[in-house]
Chain A
Amino acid sequence: MMLAQGFGRRYMKAFLKGFFVAVPVTVTFLDQVACVARVEGASMQPSLNPGGSHSSDVVLLNHWKVRNYEVQRGDIVSLVSPKNPEQKIIKRVIALEGDIIKTIGHKNRYVKVPRGHMWVEGDHHGHSFDSNAFGPVALGLLHAHATHILWPPERWQRLESVLPPERVPVQTEEK
């Protein structure tokens, strides 16, 4: 009887100790290193979700790569939506600060991306709520860099950072 009580208390102590180690470490890992997310919507077709509503791709989001806000043109990134902070959107980076971009459907024909901002677009033009609708977005809203598709298994692949040739900026700022 006494032995069982001592064992129960020891078990509780070990459980709590493990809990207070595992939860912060896991949360920090998911916030700072990498996490996975399901992609919804058709704005990045055909790169992501080519099947439409049949199957949603699950992508690996890499936070570590963007911890210094370093992105390249052509990267697929996830960011906090500037119009709705509760939502994250996934788009491709088309232009960085200092570039002059020719827009599709924006109120200005040519836009120069201001300092600390970037221009993002979905691959499926016309079905995408992106910078052509809300203008350049601040780099501070950057959430992660989508590097791989993990599910469904037949779509396992590394996402390439390729800029569509027709969307190359008119003028880029040489660093």
Chain B
Amino acid sequence: MLRGILGKTIRLLGYTLQYGCIAHCAFEYVGGVVMCSGPSMEPTIQNSDIVFAENLSRHFYAIQRGDIIIAKSPSDPKSNICKRVIGLEGDKIFTHSPSDYLKSHSYVPRGHVWLEGDNLQNSTDSRFYGPVPYGLIRGRICLKIWPLNDFGFLRDSPNSHRFSGGGLCLPILHFLGKL
């Protein structure tokens, strides 16, 4: 009797371990469902939206300008941030606010990216904590799942004037996004 229960328990533990490992591999190497909270990506992603994030791009170093990514927060590694990639390494970033008279800019260092939320008024991003190392990126958001009336691929940035990939200046070490 006891041996039967013990056998069943061990089998249950074995299955839990096996499916846990499969789930871990799926999330780490393929993708998973994520719920976003906070106002910093409005109107593209609202508070409590559910999105699908794929983790293949970061393993192949194929993250590009304009992608919305999930990364570990530079000031707290246990929490995640969800922002848009504005600049890759070597890109010129304008760090002034529209009201400044002097236009100041800086270059994104090697191995880093510049992140900004779509809701520029209400977003703590690279304008506050500086460029973020590429190694902190966890995945790229490719699809919104909930709410259903907004299902589908994500819109482009409403702030495309912040992107400097155009003819203004050529990024120096730009191959990170091109594979």
Q: List A residues at the B interface (Cβ < 8 Å).
A: 20-21, 23-25, 27-29, 31-32, 68-69, 80-86, 114-117, 137-142
Q: Is the CB of A83 within 8 A of B111?
A: yes
Main secondary structure of the interface of B (DSSP, over half): mixed
Q: Is the CB of A115 within 8 A of B111?
A: no
Verify if B112 is at the interface (C-beta below 8 Å from A).
yes
Of residues 38 through 84 on chain B, the ones whose CB sits less than 8 Å from some CB of chain A are 61, 71-78
A68, A137, A140: the one within 8 Å of B72 (CB): A140
Q: Is the CB of A24 within 8 A of B135?
A: no
Q: List B residues at the A interface (Cβ < 8 Å).
A: 17-18, 20-22, 24-25, 28, 61, 71-78, 109-112, 132-136
Q: How far is the CA of A31 from the CA of B74 in the complex (A)?
A: 22
The answer to whether residues A85 and B75 also contact, given A24-B21, A24-B24, A28-B21 and a CB cut-off of 8 A, is no
Which chain B residues lie closer than 8 Å to A27 at the CB level?
21, 25
Which chain A residues lie closer than 8 Å to B73 at the CB level?
116, 140
**Minimum CB–CB distance for A93 against chain B, Å:** 14
Q: Is the CB of B74 within 8 A of A117?
A: yes
The answer to whether residues A141 and B135 also contact, given A85-B111, A86-B61 and a CB cut-off of 8 A, is yes
Q: Is the CB of B28 within 8 A of A31?
A: yes
Can you identify 10 A-B contacts, CB atoms within 8 angstroms? Answer: A24-B22, A82-B133, A85-B134, A85-B135, A114-B75, A115-B75, A116-B75, A137-B133, A138-B77, A141-B136
Q: Which residue of A lies closest to B71 (CB)?
A: A140
Apart from A27-B25, A81-B135, A141-B133: 16 A-B pairs, beta carbons within 8 A: A21-B18, A25-B18, A28-B24, A31-B24, A80-B133, A82-B112, A84-B111, A85-B133, A114-B75, A116-B76, A138-B77, A138-B133, A140-B77, A140-B136, A141-B136, A142-B77
Q: Which residue of B lies closest to A21 (CB)?
A: B18
**Minimum CB–CB distance for B111 against chain A, Å:** 4
**Minimum CB–CB distance for A99 against chain B, Å:** 16
The answer to whether residues A80 and B76 also contact, given A24-B18, A24-B24, A85-B111 and a CB cut-off of 8 A, is no
Which chain A residues lie closer than 8 Å to B71 at the CB level?
140
Q: Is the CB of A85 within 8 A of B74?
A: no
Q: How far is the CA of A92 from the CA of B29 in the complex (A)?
A: 29
The answer to whether residues A138 and B24 also contact, given A25-B18, A80-B135 and a CB cut-off of 8 A, is no
Which chain A residues lie closer than 8 Å to B77 at the CB level?
69, 116, 138-140, 142
Query: Which of B17, B22, B111, B133 counts the most chain A CB atoms within 10 A?
Result: B133
Which chain B residues lie closer than 8 Å to A28 at the CB level?
20-21, 24-25
